[in-house]
Structure formats: structure tokens, C-alpha cells
Amino acid sequence: MKYFCDLHIHSKYSRGTSKNITIENLSKYAKIKGLNILGTGDFTHPEWFLQLKEKLEEREEKGVYYLKKQDTQNKLANYCNTENIEEKTQETGFVFQTEISLMYSDAIKSRKIHIVILSPNIPITEQINKYFSSKGRMDYDGRPIFGKLPCYQLVADLKKISDDIEIIPAHIWTPWFGLFGSKSGFDKIEDAFLDQTKHIYGLETGLSSDPQMNHQISCLDRYTLISCSDAHSYYPWRLGREATIFDLENISYKNIINAIRNKNNGYAGTIEVDPRYGKYYFDGHRECNINISPKEAIENNNICPVCKKILTIGVLHRVRDLADRDVNYVAQNKPVYYTLIPLFEIIARVKNISSLNSKTIWTIYNKLITSFGNEYDILLNVKEEDLKKVVEPDLATSIVNIRNKNYSILEGSDGVYGKLEKM
């Protein structure tokens, strides 16, 4: 059975997140999206961890937790009028997950790197939190910062707690906080993790890259490429915009981790947004409204042509810096990946509406969800003629055009998302 999993999100206790994030809302909208498993986000934050322990329960799927029955009746943030769909849709499970920020200096430069951590159960999570509490405060941010703690030491320490803990470098190409990012990055994984590289199996590729881009670097072949939303809200245009697909007989934390550690044992591929949609695909300088290709950046010596300051070097540029394969290299026998754009973005573009949280968009979205069950199925499978029975023909055609990669995008750069154009 195929399981769609978004293993990296945030709670309302992280900076820059929606303050309406609740476990109930995450559970509700994950089902509507089509997600089977969701990371809890931010288990290092004391208040959020208490809520997770109070509201979630472990059932027969070991290491997968579900909203307790009495809490499934809560009707919070009911923007989407889909209670009947919720009753028919399989519940979304949670695995304990957090993201941390490491800031330290090595012999070369100062490092700022984000790491995703997955935990098998509540007792192990409590031990992880005890470990981090000895390294610094955790109550000020859902994504806490730890100074003077290098990557390799983190891995070694967590593996002493439990080998079932999974450590995944987050959004590895993001300029400031990615493992290979242009501002903080290493050129090789071993440079960051040293002898602890043996415990790294998965890499989160981030919104601004896709598997084809990562396949241009041969040393990444042995790693499982994970895609996650890094969502800062529960809204469907953020939650599950990227996800990892596992093909498993049954879902459990152990089976998910085994699939990450052994790609031939249940890892089936990913859901990707078009990398051009990501905030760091092209090179740019937001303050000067400069958004240019790597070729143009190189011609300008990576200097902003307006203010003459250094450009923020994006993911496409950085990938080509490290690539040892041709840009058109096609990997053989690799898991499939689907390139999609969130349904809200498609509706907004067709209707020429700037605010995604629009009543008009929600009304159309509700019709589609009520008719077809969840967003992934709409984007991936529903036939155009069936879509036209529910929504206007131009929207139905646009959904299918996205599926068939018949569209154009204005590339994102320097923290600004790309924009969907012709469909």
C-alpha cells in the first residue's frame, strides 16, 4: 500500500508560524490533503510536547500516534466544510519529529545548519529532550538553536540514546541553513558528519530542488531523497506541498525508518513542487528586485547589478557548482517523483485572486474535495472530464496541465516564492 508522508512540519511555537496550529487542525487538514503520516513538529518545545502527549495515542502501529477519539470531534478553524469527507477518509497518523538549528564554527567558517530528527516513541523523545535541555533552552522557539554543537557530535550523542532515532539534514540546498547551502555549506557530507556519516541515510532536498537536480551529484546516489513541506501552517497550500511516498504492507515507525535506510525496502518516491516555485531556486537580491539565472550571476561576478552587493546564490547555481554529471543526466531505476503545484495556487491563478485564504477559493476547493476525496487524488488521478463536472472547464484543464507539466513559472529567489504563470 502507498503511504504519503510529510515528515517535517512546525507547531505554533516556532517563529513565523500560524498561531492557529493545533493538533486537531493538523490532523484534519492532513486527511483532506491525502497524507497518511505527518510529523508532529517541534517535539523539543515543552508546551507542544505536553500537548502531543495529552492528545495523541499509540495504537497497533508501533511508533505511529493518532488523535484520541474524544478529540476528533473538535471543530476548530473550520474553513473547509468537509466533515463528511473526514468521516470517510482514513485517519492521519503522527510520528514524533522536530527540527533543530546548529550554529558553530569549524576550521573553515561559521556554520548554521538545520537538522530534522525523528523519534520512535514518547519515552525516547523524553530522553532526547533531556539531552537537549543540557545544551541550552528549548522554550523560546519550536526550532531551538544550539551553539557549539557540531553535526557529528549531535549524531554520536543521539545514537547513544537509541539507534532508532533518525537524523536527516534538512533542506540541504537552502543558502543559509542547508548542508550544501551557498552561505553555510559543505561540499561533502563527510565534511560535516565525519565518522558519523555512517548514520546518515536520508537527505531532505527542500522546495527549490528535485530528484533530477540531486542526481547530478554522484556522491548523493547512496542516500534516500526525502521531500517534506516544512510547513509553517496547517493550510492545504503549505501542509503536504511536498511529501515522501512509501510502499509498505503496513505502516509503522520501524517500517518507515527501514525504508529510509534501505531504499529497496519500501521507499517509492516523492511529491515535489516545481523547484522553480521554491524561494531559493534562482540567484537574486530581494531588496533590489533582482532575480537572475546562474549564468547571468556569473557574468556579473555574483554581484547585484543594482547595489553592487553580493547576490544570494540560489540552489540551481549551487547544484551546478557541485555537480559531476551533466545537467540533463537521467538516473536509471530511480523511484518516481511527481511534480505538482498546490491546488489552492492553481485555483488562485485561474481566478486571478491574490489572497490564497479567499472565500471564493475555499468554496471551489470544498467542491473538489467533497467530490473526489483528497487533494493528492485530484492533482494526480482525476480525469479532466470528471473535473469539468464539478468546476469550470478552464480550471479543470489547468489542473491537468499542471499534472502534465504544461505550464510556466517565474522562478523564485532570495526568499521570494516563484509565481505560477501560464497553464
Mean pLDDT value across the chain: 94
What is the average pLDDT across 225-236?
97
Residue 99 has pLDDT above 90, yes or no: yes
Band of pLDDT at residue 89, cut at 50, 70 and 90: low
Cα distance between the two ends of the chain: 32
pLDDT digits (tens, 9 = 90+) for 170-179: 999 999 999 9
Band of pLDDT at residue 67, cut at 50, 70 and 90: very high
pLDDT digits (tens, 9 = 90+) for 51-63: 999 999 998 779 9
pLDDT digits (tens, 9 = 90+) for 286-318: 999 999 999 999 999 999 999 999 999 999 999
Please tell me the pTM assigned to this model: 0.95
All structural domains of the chain = 2-277 (3.20.20.140), 344-406 (no CATH)
Name 335's Cβ contacts closer than 8 Å, sequence gap at least 6: 211, 245, 263, 267, 268, 269, 270
Inter-residue contact 115 to 99 (CB < 8 Å)? yes
What is the average pLDDT across 71-85?
51
What is the average pLDDT across 13-31?
96
Q: Which three cell numbers stand for residue 289?
A: 528586485
Residue 77 has pLDDT above 50, yes or no: no
Helical axes 46-55 vs 122-133, angle rounded to 10°: 170
Residue 207 has pLDDT above 80, yes or no: yes
Name 7's Cβ contacts closer than 8 Å, sequence gap at least 6: 37, 38, 39, 95, 97, 116, 118, 168, 226, 228, 244, 256
Inter-residue contact 175 to 313 (CB < 8 Å)? yes
Higher pLDDT, residue 73 or 350 = 350
pLDDT digits (tens, 9 = 90+) for 360-417: 999 999 999 999 999 999 999 999 999 999 999 999 999 999 999 999 999 999 999 9
Residue 248 has pLDDT above 60, yes or no: yes
Determine how many CB atoms are found less than 10 A away from the CB of residue 311: 25
Band of pLDDT at residue 194, cut at 50, 70 and 90: very high
Q: Which three cell numbers stand for residue 246?
A: 512509501
pLDDT confidence of residue 76: 45
pLDDT confidence of residue 70: 63
313 CB-side CA count, 13 A: 22
Q: Which helix (H) or strand (E) holds 190?
A: helix 189-193
How far apart, in whole angstroms, are the C-alpha atoms of residue 230 and residue 41? 9
Inter-residue contact 149 to 181 (CB < 8 Å)? no
pLDDT confidence of residue 48: 98
Q: Which three cell numbers stand for residue 154?
A: 549531535
How far apart, in whole angstroms, are the C-alpha atoms of residue 308 and residue 199? 42
pLDDT confidence of residue 107: 81
pLDDT confidence of residue 359: 96
What is the average pLDDT across 35-49?
98
